[in-house]
Structures are given as C-alpha cells and as structure tokens.
Amino acid sequence: MAVIAHLQIPAESFELGRILEVESSGLIKLENMVPLGEKAVPFFSVSDEIRESFEQNVGDHPSVDNIVEVTRHDTERLYSLDWDVGRDVFFQGIVDLDGQLLNATGSAATWEFEIRFSTHGALSEFQEYCSNAHFELEVGRIYNPVRPEAGMWYGVTQLQRDTLMRAVQGGYYSIPRQMSTQDLADEFGISDQAVTERLRRAIVTLTENTLITVQEEQEGEFDRT
C-alpha cells in the first residue's frame, strides 16, 4: 500500500535548496515538477517582496541554465527553472525510488516535503539512501494516502476538522453527553443546524476516505489473487 511521508531537510543540504536561496523572511512553494526529456522542470511561486533578490540569486547560480516568470497572481509570481535534476542527489533519490512529490515549501533554513512512495519499503529505502548521502533528514508524519486527492486530512475541511475535534474533546459524543450542538454553535458563531450539517459532512468524508477506501483496496487485492 502506498504511503505519504512529511520530511524536513536543511536548505543547504541539497542542490535545489541552495539554488533557491531566499531571505530570512521569504518562503518558496514548489507547485509542480514536470518531466521534460532528461530534465525535471520545477515550477514554484514566490512573493513579490522577495522577488528581486530571489531572481538575482537564482539567475547567478552556476547550476541554473534559465529562470522564467510564467505568470503572476496578486502578490505572488510563478517561475519555471531550467535545471537538471540529475545534479541534485536528494531529488535524484526521489526519482530513482519512484517517489511522487506532492508538496514542498522552503525557507532560508529548511525545506518541508510531502512525498508519496509506492510502499513502506520504498520509503525505508529512501531514508537509507539519504542516510548514506549524509542528509540531515527529519521524518515527520507518515500515513497511508487512501484517496490521493484527499490529502493528509482525508478531505475534511479546516472548519469541519475544527468542529469535529472540538465536539470530541468537549464530550459531544460522550455518554452521557457533555456538550450539545447549541454549545458548539455558540462557540463557532453559527446555527445549531449548521453545526449538525458540518459534523455530518466531516464524518461522512472521513469515513469515505479511510475505512471505505481501505476496504475497497483490500477487496481489489483479494480479487487479483
């Protein structure tokens, strides 16, 4: 079964982290990485306040062939980077072990990655690979992705998540019940009916993207045997 891992690595430890150097207050978000021939072209967004220094630092880096502004939206700009992934030992390990990069955010000090591997074994191989390459890799949360589009919160929205967690923590599901839907409604500033509907949607989404999906995967594996 596939597994998703949240990883953190110092920016100075890998080639792309050193290329995408930013000011102490700046953040970079890797939006996508598209394979083009023998290269993997990353697309990433940066905020306007660090744009000038960012463009200069990246453009002057010897490993960068070209950097192109693709589009701009509000206070962010999207760039593509002409860069050979084979020069980066960290990213080459992701490619070699068939990892899928889902999300990455970088600061001046560290980068955080969300990467999907086909099995727990592939993730373990990647950890060993990073250890042999002397990367200071910190592994955070590891979970099975169930439905890929659901993300780490299994498709439950922030508001649904906050309400459901508060309901559990406050004793809404305890016997006897220690909190009512009206209590929740007062805390979140919504109607009693809205609380009920929010909890219902959260529970349905959570169940569909965990228990039901795992059962379907197991049944599918059984049918293939």
Question: In whole angstroms, how large is the CA radius of gyration of the chain?
Answer: 22
**Residues making up the chain, counted from first to last:** 225
Dihedral of alpha carbons 92, 77, 137, 21, sign: positive
As a whole number of angstroms, the distance between CA 203 and CA 163 comes to 11
Residue 14 tokens, joined: 């890998």
Answer yes or no: are the C-beta atoms of 156 and 206 closer than 8 Å: yes
| 37, pLDDT greater than 80 | no
Tokens of 112: 């955080």
Q: pLDDT tens across 133-192, in order?
A: 998 899 888 876 555 555 556 778 888 989 999 999 999 999 999 999 999 999 999 999
CA dihedral in degrees (86, 91, 97, 101; nearest 10)? -130
- The answer to whether the beta carbons of residues 42 and 52 sit under 8 Å apart is no
Average per-residue pLDDT in the chain? 81
Nearest Cα residue to 160 out of 98, 192, 205, 105: 205
Q: Distance (Å, rounded) from C-alpha 204 to C-alpha 14?
A: 41
Contact indicator for 44, 14 with CB cutoff of 8 Å = no
Do the Cβ atoms of 112 and 28 come closer than 8 Å?
Answer: no
pTM (two decimals):
0.59
80 pLDDT above the threshold of 80: yes
Tokens 């910190």 sit on residue = 138
- Whole-angstrom distance, CA of residue 190 vs CA of residue 198: 10
Q: Render pLDDT for 101-147 as a digit per residue (tens, 0 to 9).
A: 888 888 888 999 988 888 888 889 999 999 999 988 998 888 765 55
Count of CB atoms situated within 10 Å of the CB of 24: 8
Nearest to 5 by CA among 107, 131, 124: 124
Task: Give the pLDDT band of residue 31 (cuts 50, 70, 90).
Answer: confident
Torsion 39-45-50-55 (CA) sign: positive
CA atoms within 13 A on the CB side of 70: 14
